[in-house]
Structure 1
């Protein structure tokens, strides 16, 4: 019994120790530093909402930021977009800053604390008052910084995990995102590689995402979404040169890749140059700026994508209720299918194949017809071949749709490229699409589904 009781006591003590460790665990930026202090000596306390300006002086330089309406802007010290999250974190944590110990009152020799040339933060309020906080060296144990206020030479120690919130570097002031938007807001995207257009895509309310170059057609939404999600998360890793004059040393005089993207009210053009030998980085630069930075290759894993990968692979996919007739010519035979279909009342659908009433043949026949139709709209491209001149030849296979919607009629023709592949023509136009002829012979392809359908229709 005593052993059991001692075990319980040991567990309770362990839990208390774990709780104590959690209480002093370093918080991520964005939290409030003062929340975790046990023995608190207040160094600053003010309403963060009343801050209108602040100034940073450090070994990196001097930076002045001013609040205009609800937005922060950099008024001196550089020309770069701001990381609002880190700015708000700095203000929040400096508004309730606590030391845990007074080291020396009215110190004369500030140099031993690194406070003769400190990191200085000056915060101005809307009522004209200001607060100055100065940060010196780390203590020998590195668990705290020496700090003082601007109106006193009293030296305090503030835990490192608290002081870190108000020591903001230039990199932390910067918004390092290449394109800081939501991926769902992107409406245009282009990728060039080695001076050639890989693809250009655009979103409209009427048609959604469409590929504009190197061919025209519907986009693969899954693939595009993956690209956009990656691009809006891409960030500059390190800033190399602020005002580069010789772009050739970075491969940016003739960029390997160029990415252009836009939302309704914002756009970006990113140049990607050389990769850094032995490293997983590229050199990069934004249009309108001479600043060169590095960017992780992994964040732009889509750069070597092929045009066909962003195109919807199916050639033409009208809903069955938007089609009144489809005529398939293959193997020297022409099959005419009449369709009357209503998306709101499929029980009333009517289908005929070469004059045969499909619905009257029962449910099995109806399902066989629907499978046949799926195989017609399921013909997919296997490659792209962009040619200077339009291919010529006689179509071996064709599919003609009569539609209830624009463009009223669509004729898909398949002209032999060789003994295995076909060029695809849509209403007489060739856009670079090529299919493998084996698509017609697949288990769920046009030929097999036509055979199944006709067998059922002829048996009943």
Structure 2
């Protein structure tokens, strides 16, 4: 019995819930009589066709024509309206609630008529049309107390008080409802720009993959920052004054030609064109403008002329290197018969490819930064050059693209180098005055680290000095060092050896001199003043032989035997490397009287 009652109760709850849902859905689609009685206006925004405000001395109207909202007045014509403003206005009117109700019976009791409330000469007559017909409201005078006004629906007797904010919503001129934006779409949606001005015809198109490109007057890459700046300046302009609507003769304003136009196209295929005319008489700093698809004329700041007369050279991409520094993973340089390649190893960092050296990232970055900061100072330079002096190729494995820059002889030009980019046949002059010869030298990019060893892995050191017996120390089983082949009167200089081992663990050059030197005698390395042999305990590691030659003001000429690179070692480093490892033991001081 209990289960049966539960089922009956559950069914009742389901039926009641369904009834409430159906009722609420119907109410949402059909405003109740009670809700309509609370609001003065019940404008249906979806079917609204027009709204007219008739004031004492003027009439302002907005209406939908061919799906486009227009605003204006009977005597001046209609122009494009601000859709967002109209939507806010309709919403604001619908929010006006009724206050006190004054019925016909109240009027009769008081011996009054509607004229006493200002309806014989209404302050405003509001007429709206939608798919249900035409509706008219009369707004009378203000109430004696409180910020309220009297209002009524035309043809009905009841008078209501509503908020005085209603009068603030009423536009006093068509300009208050007009669209002052030049372009309705977002700036980011622009995909095409066409400019016809004193600088000629300029056409730009944005490719989804490669960005902005000039198509007229030349086919070339465009500077994305310049294009973005142009669009932003154009979008910041606002209509100043609405001069005339329904104009049939644009020649009065200098707007009849096709010589001064700016057109923007969106990604959805829409476009809007501005036609710029004469200066506005008596208003310096303003010009007449119209939209090509409209018959209205308005005034605009003369700043639009700067945009209208933008030359292609200003928008053209002046960058020499198109790749970003962070995307570059390889450099290739050619100068005559010399070649040099640099590559970025994800684990080891930048490398000189041949000869195989660790590269100094600072030197590599300097090369990249030099070209990243280079800009074109003159496009399409005439030249008789055939073969380039230099070629620089920058690659990116991340993007799968390369940039090739060819540098041609200057032919007497002192203002900058002449270059050619990728497959572009044009020759450009850039702001770099010359290419340093050391750019092709692999030593320019070599890491300063000569070698790096594990200090504990060094098991033998031989120091050979000119005209002196060799000094050889070797690690013992207890990890200490002892002299090799010497008499018992000598011992290891522990302090000098400790400093030597620390220095040998990491040897750094203070500068590089030559690669594959023709004559070692020039550097004092054919018969070096100091020769260091370093033995290692690691089985797969070869030993090292360091040669130190002649001293100069910049340091000692040095090289690692078998590597054919001459470099500088600073004097303090050589002092540590050449210190005596062998000392004689101190004899006891004799005691007086013995």
**Which of these two proteins has the greater Rg computed from alpha carbons?**
2
Q: Equivalent residue of 1:284, what SS?
A: strand
Provide closer, same or farther for how the CA distance between residues 119 and 252 of structure 1 changes in structure 2, counting only shifts above 3 A: same
**1:106 counterpart = 2:130:** no
TM-score, normalising length: structure 2: 0.54
- Matched position secondary structure for 1:86: helix
**Contact 1:379/1:439, CA 8 A, preserved across alignment:** no
SS at match of 2:240: strand
Mapping of 1:3-402 within 5 angstroms?
44=40, 46=42, 52-58=48-54, 59-60=58-59, 63-65=62-64, 73=69, 80-98=79-97, 106-108=113-115, 114-115=121-122, 118-122=124-128, 124=130, 128=132, 131-135=135-139, 147-152=151-156, 161-167=165-171, 169-194=173-198, 196-197=200-201, 199-254=202-257, 257-265=260-268, 266-276=270-280, 277-298=282-303, 302-318=307-323, 324-329=330-335, 336-341=339-344, 345=346, 347=348, 349-352=350-353, 355-359=354-358, 365-384=360-379, 391-393=383-385, 397-401=389-393
CA distance in 2, matches of 1:409, 1:380: 15
Mapped partners of 1:432, 1:101: distance in 2:
82
Secondary structure, aligned partner of 1:283: strand
CA deviation after TM superposition for structure 1 residue 334, in Å: 6.4
Q: Is the 8 A contact 2:199 2:309 kept in 1?
A: no
Q: Partner of 1:20 in structure 2?
A: none
**Structure 2: distance between partners of 1:288 and 1:314:** 38
Instruction: Provide the aligned C-alpha RMSD in A.
Output: 4.6
- Does the residue aligned with 1:236 lie in a helix, a strand or coil? coil
Deviation of the 1:86 alpha carbon:
1.6
Higher relative contact order (CA 8 A, sep 6+): 1
**Distance in structure 1 (CA, Å) of the matches to 2:176 and 2:200:** 36
CA contact (8 A) 1:195 1:256 kept: no
**CA gap 1:84/1:380 in 2 versus in 1, 3 angstroms:** same
Task: Count residues in correspondence.
Answer: 395
1:196 Cα deviation from its structure 2 partner: 0.3
Moved more, 131-140 or 223-232: 131-140
Normalising by structure 1, we get a TM-score of 0.67
Q: Which runs of 5+ in 2 are unaligned?
A: 1-36, 447-509, 514-566, 569-594
**Secondary structure of the structure 1 residue equivalent to 2:181:** coil
Mapped partners of 2:141, 2:385: distance in 1: 80
Please say if residues 78 and 245 of structure 2, whose CA atoms lie closer than 8 Å, have aligned partners that are also in contact.
no
Q: Partners of 1:346 and 1:196 in 2: how far apart?
A: 53
Q: Distance in 2 between matches of 1:185 and 1:416?
A: 43
Equivalent-residue separation in structure 2 for 1:446 and 1:98 (angstroms): 83
- Cα gap change, 1:98 to 1:323, in 2 (>3 Å): closer
1:67-120 Cα offsets, whole Å, 9 max, x none, are x9xx875699866444222222222121132577899963248988742x8442
